A = this chain, B = another copy of it.
Amino acid sequence: MKLLEDRILQDGTVLPGNVLKVDSFLNHQIDYKLIKALGEEFYNTFKDTGVTKILTVEASGIAIACAAAEHFEVPVVFAKKGHHKNVGNDIFTADVFSFTKGITYTVAVSKKYLNAQDKVLVIDDFLADGQACMGLKSICEQAGAEVVGFGIAIEKGFQNGGKLLRETGIPVQSLAIIASMTDDSICFASND
């Protein structure tokens, strides 16, 4: 998606440790116009898949998920990280290992908000090692729900998550795929 790639080139910065900083428009400060465009793009791709729920994980996925929800006209469910007392005990959970942080955390969704009739579009802001998305997929499976697609804003194409998700056979749309990045250049790959 050219709009997102251009914005990454304009405002993204590369930090040591393969960190792409996009906090001026995506995951700290949010450009609502860009987010709306991302949501519409996911709709254009997945509009014929019968989506009944959009599932993301707090916090950075929420804005994009809501922007998409407006087009699909379905609820958003955001998985909570860790154990929140507000979620209750009747929950689906998955353990997610973060390669970046070197820790495992739990994501949880109340059993009330996913069921066997649901067709779920999983949305997240970043795809790196794919563990968060696989955790959300596991939660859907526990609910008997079907994941009909993964919608990712930025995929780090040089990490393993894209391969992992595509091997599931579930369609993956990444709006920008970073093929490589250094201090002074960011190269994109095609999504085809």
Contact = CB atoms under 8 A, between A and B. Distances in A.
B76 A63 contact: yes
Contacts of A69: 30, 32
Interface of A, secondary structure class, is mixed
Contacts of A73: 32
Interface residues of A, number: 35
B77 A29 contact: yes
B113 A66 contact: no
B27 A86 contact: yes
Given A19-B86, A28-B78, A36-B70, 4 more contacts: A30-B78, A32-B66, A32-B70, A32-B73
A23 B62 contact: no
Contacts of A136: none
Contacts of A23: 86-87, 110
Interface string A15-41: 000010101100111111001100000
Interface string A85-109: 1111000000000000000000001
